C-alpha cells in the first residue's frame, strides 16, 4: 500500500472498524485476566471510606489489604491502607491490581505502586484466579470463557464477552466446538441481553453453522440469523452488523446472495442498516477469502456507491481494496452526491489521486476544470497531493 493511500485511508475515520479484534463488539477494555497477568502485584482488600475525586480528577477510594495473591518483590503489607482508582464506589471486597511507576519529583521514594480496584465477591475472586493465563493459545483460552458467556454474575458475563471481543477471528473459529448453539440462538433475540453482545452472538452463530457436522444444527443457526435480519427494524438495531457477518460466515456466497435479495444494497434501505452491511463486507474481505471470492466482496462494496449514507465510506474501502475498476462510478459521485457532501468529495479525490490508472488522471482533470477550488480542498482534506 502506498504512503498516500495509507494516509488517505487513515484519514477516513468514519470507515474504520473499532480498535478490537471483533469489529462488532464495540470498544472493549482489558479483561480481568489481562489486568491480572500484567500487574506487578495482586491483592484482595476491603473498602475503607467512600470514593472521591483525587488530585487528577479521577475517582479513587481507600482499601485495607487482606490477602496478597501476587507480590514477587514482597512490597505489599497485609493490613496496609492504600488508595486505588475505581470506576465507581465499592462497598465491601475488591481485587486490587498494582503497577509500579517511577516516582515524581515531589516523591521521596524511588517508585510507588499505583492500584486499581474491581468490586469482587467470592465467585468473581475465584474466576479471576482460575481464568487461563494470557500467554496460552487464544483458542484454548476461549474454550474456557465460552461456558461463562451470559454468566449469572454480570461481571463475569461482561469479562467473558471482553475476552471474545479481544480475540482474533481465527481463534474464535477454532473454539467453535464448545459453543452452545441453543443458548446463542436464544440470546440473539432475548430482550434482556446487553445489545452490545448481539453482534458477537450473531457472528458466533455463523461460526457454528459454518463448522457444524450436523446439518440440522447448521440450519437452525442460519434460520435464526435470517429471522434476525428480517425482523422489523428499530432506530438503532444493535448488533445488526454481527448478524450480517454471521450470515456471510455461515453461508459464504449464498449468504451474500441472500443479503442482496433482502434489498440491503438498494437506495431504499435504511442508512444504518447499510452502515452495518459495509462493516460486514469489510469483515468478509479480511477474513472470509476462502468462502467468498474477493471480487464478489468488491462488487458488493461498489454497489453501495449509489447509497448516500455510505458512498464516502464505500469509496474509501474500494481504495483500500485497490479496486481500481470502479474509477468511472467513483468519479460520477463527484457530480451527484459530491455536490452537497464534502465527505464524498474528499473520498472521490483521494481515490482518484491514489489510483494508478490513466483513467483516474483523466477524471481528475475533468473535475479540476469544473471545480478547481473544491478539488484542491478535497485533496487537502484527503491528505493526498494533487496529481499533475
Of the two residues 101 and 32, the one the predictor is more confident about is: 32
pLDDT tens figures, 287-315: 999 999 999 999 999 999 999 999 999 99
3 state SS of 310? coil
Q: What is the mean pLDDT of residues 7-17?
A: 44
Task: Say how far apart CA 104 and CA 85 lie, in whole Å.
Answer: 18
Q: What CATH number has the domain spanning 33-129? A: 2.40.50.120
Mean pLDDT of the residues in the chain = 89
Task: Say how far apart CA 214 and CA 41 lie, in whole Å.
Answer: 47
Give the DSSP letter string of 257-289. Answer: HHHHHTTTTSTTS-HHHHHHHHHHHHHHHHH-T
Task: Say how far apart CA 375 and CA 225 lie, in whole Å.
Answer: 44
Start-to-end Cα distance in the chain: 21
Distances (CA, A) of 169 to 174, 203, 218, 298: 8, 10, 19, 21
Task: Say how far apart CA 32 and CA 128 lie, in whole Å.
Answer: 7
Task: Say how far apart CA 198 and CA 353 lie, in whole Å.
Answer: 39
Instruction: Quickly state the pLDDT bin for 196 (edges 50, 70, 90).
Output: confident
pLDDT at 61 over 80: yes
Task: Say how far apart CA 309 and CA 245 lie, in whole Å.
Answer: 20
Asked whether the beta carbons of 375 and 364 are under 8 A apart, the reply is yes
What integer pLDDT is reported at residue 195 of this predicted model? Answer: 81
What integer pLDDT is reported at residue 102 of this predicted model? Answer: 66
Asked whether the beta carbons of 22 and 240 are under 8 A apart, the reply is no
Q: What is the mean pLDDT of residues 267-272?
A: 86
What integer pLDDT is reported at residue 97 of this predicted model? Answer: 96
Cα 133 from chain centre: 23
Task: Say how far apart CA 149 and CA 203 lie, in whole Å.
Answer: 14
Q: What is the mean pLDDT of residues 96-123?
A: 79
Instruction: Quickly state the pLDDT bin for 189 (edges 50, 70, 90).
Output: confident
pLDDT at 225 over 70: yes
Q: What is the mean pLDDT of residues 22-27?
A: 79
Instruction: Quickly state the pLDDT bin for 192 (edges 50, 70, 90).
Output: confident
Task: Say how far apart CA 61 and CA 85 lie, in whole Å.
Answer: 6
pLDDT at 352 over 50: yes
What integer pLDDT is reported at residue 20 of this predicted model? Answer: 46
Task: Say how far apart CA 380 and CA 272 lie, in whole Å.
Answer: 28
pLDDT tens figures, 131-146: 999 999 999 999 999 9
Question: Is the torsion defined by CA of 280, 200, 251, 190 positive or negative?
Answer: negative
Q: Which of 254, 271, 282, 232 has its CA nearest to residue 24?
A: 282
What integer pLDDT is reported at residue 10 of this predicted model? Answer: 46
Reading the block at residue 176, the C-alpha cell is 467453535
pLDDT tens figures, 38-50: 999 999 999 998 9
Strand partners, 63: 47, 82
What integer pLDDT is reported at residue 370 of this predicted model? Answer: 92
Q: How many CB atoms lie under 10 A from the CB of residue 255?
A: 28
**What pTM value is reported for the model?**
0.86
Q: Which of 177, 249, 202, 181 has its CA nearest to residue 25?
A: 202
Of the chain, the percentage scoring pLDDT greater than 90 comes to 76
Strands (E), the chain: 41-53, 59-70, 81-85, 93-102, 111-119
Lowest mean pLDDT among 4-18, 307-321, 342-356: 4-18
Maximum alpha-carbon separation in the chain: 77
pLDDT at 114 over 60: yes
What integer pLDDT is reported at residue 145 of this predicted model? Answer: 97
Q: What is the mean pLDDT of residues 241-258?
A: 97
Task: Say how far apart CA 250 and CA 132 lie, in whole Å.
Answer: 29
Cα 194 from chain centre: 16
Instruction: Quickly state the pLDDT bin for 104 (edges 50, 70, 90).
Output: low
Give the DSSP letter string of 196-251. Answer: HHHHHHHHHHHHHHHH-S-HHHHHHHHHHHHHHHHSPP-SS-TTHHHHHHHHHHHH
Q: What is the mean pLDDT of residues 70-98?
A: 93
263: left (phi over 0), alpha (psi -120 to 50) or beta: left
Instruction: Quickly state the pLDDT bin for 90 (edges 50, 70, 90).
Output: very high
Amino acid at each position: 500500500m502506498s504512503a498516500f493511500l495509507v494516509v488517505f485511508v487513515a484519514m477516513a475515520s468514519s470507515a474504520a472498524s473499532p480498535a478490537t479484534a471483533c469489529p462488532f463488539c464495540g470498544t472493549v477494555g482489558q479483561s480481568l485476566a489481562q489486568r491480572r497477568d500484567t500487574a506487578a502485584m495482586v491483592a484482595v482488600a476491603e473498602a475503607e471510606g467512600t470514593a472521591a475525586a483525587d488530585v487528577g480528577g479521577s475517582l479513587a477510594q481507600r482499601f485495607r489489604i487482606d490477602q496478597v495473591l501476587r507480590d514477587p518483590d514482597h512490597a505489599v503489607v497485609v493490613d496496609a491502607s492504600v488508595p486505588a482508582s475505581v470506576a465507581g464506589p465499592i462497598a465491601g471486597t475488591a481485587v486490587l491490581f498494582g503497577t509500579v511507576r517511577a516516582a515524581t519529583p515531589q516523591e521521596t521514594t524511588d517508585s510507588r505502586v499505583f492500584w486499581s480496584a474491581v468490586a469482587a465477591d467470592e465467585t468473581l475472586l475465584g474466576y479471576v484466579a482460575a481464568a487461563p493465563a494470557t500467554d496460552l493459545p487464544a483458542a484454548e483460552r476461549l474454550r474456557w470463557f465460552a461456558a461463562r458467556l451470559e454468566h449469572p454474575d454480570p461481571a463475569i458475563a461482561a469479562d467473558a464477552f471482553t475476552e471474545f471481543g479481544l480475540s482474533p477471528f481465527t481463534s474464535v473459529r477454532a473454539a467453535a466446538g464448545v459453543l452452545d448453539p441453543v443458548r446463542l440462538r436464544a440470546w440473539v433475540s432475548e430482550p434482556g441481553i446487553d445489545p452490545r453482545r448481539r453482534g458477537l452472538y450473531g457472528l458466533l452463530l455463523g461460526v457454528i453453522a459454518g463448522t457444524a457436522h450436523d446439518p440440522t444444527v447448521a440450519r437452525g443457526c442460519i434460520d435464526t440469523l435470517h429471522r434476525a435480519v428480517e425482523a422489523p427494524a428499530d432506530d438503532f438495531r444493535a448488533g445488526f452488523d454481527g448478524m450480517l457477518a454471521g450470515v456471510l460466515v455461515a453461508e459464504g456466497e449464498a449468504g451474500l446472495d441472500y443479503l442482496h435479495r433482502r434489498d440491503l444494497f438498494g437506495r431504499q434501505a435504511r442508512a444504518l442498516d447499510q452502515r452495518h452491511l459495509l462493516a460486514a463486507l469489510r469483515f468478509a474481505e479480511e477474513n472470509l477469502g476462502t468462502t467468498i471470492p474477493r471480487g464478489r466482496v468488491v462488487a458488493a462494496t461498489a454497489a453501495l456507491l449509489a447509497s448516500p449514507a455510505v458512498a464516502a465510506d464505500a469509496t474509501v474501502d474500494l481504495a483500500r481494496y485497490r479496486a481500481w475498476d470502479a474509477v468511472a462510478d467513483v468519479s460520477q459521485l463527484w457530480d451527484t452526491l459530491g455536490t452537497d457532501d464534502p465527505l464524498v468529495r474528499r473520498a472521490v479525490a483521494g481515490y482518484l489521486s491514489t489510483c494508478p490508472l490513466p483513467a483516474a488522471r483523466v477524471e481528475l482533470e475533468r473535475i479540476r476544470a469544473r471545480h478547481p477550488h473544491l478539488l484542491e480542498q478535497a485533496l487537502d482534506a484527503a491528505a493526498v497531493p494533487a496529481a499533475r
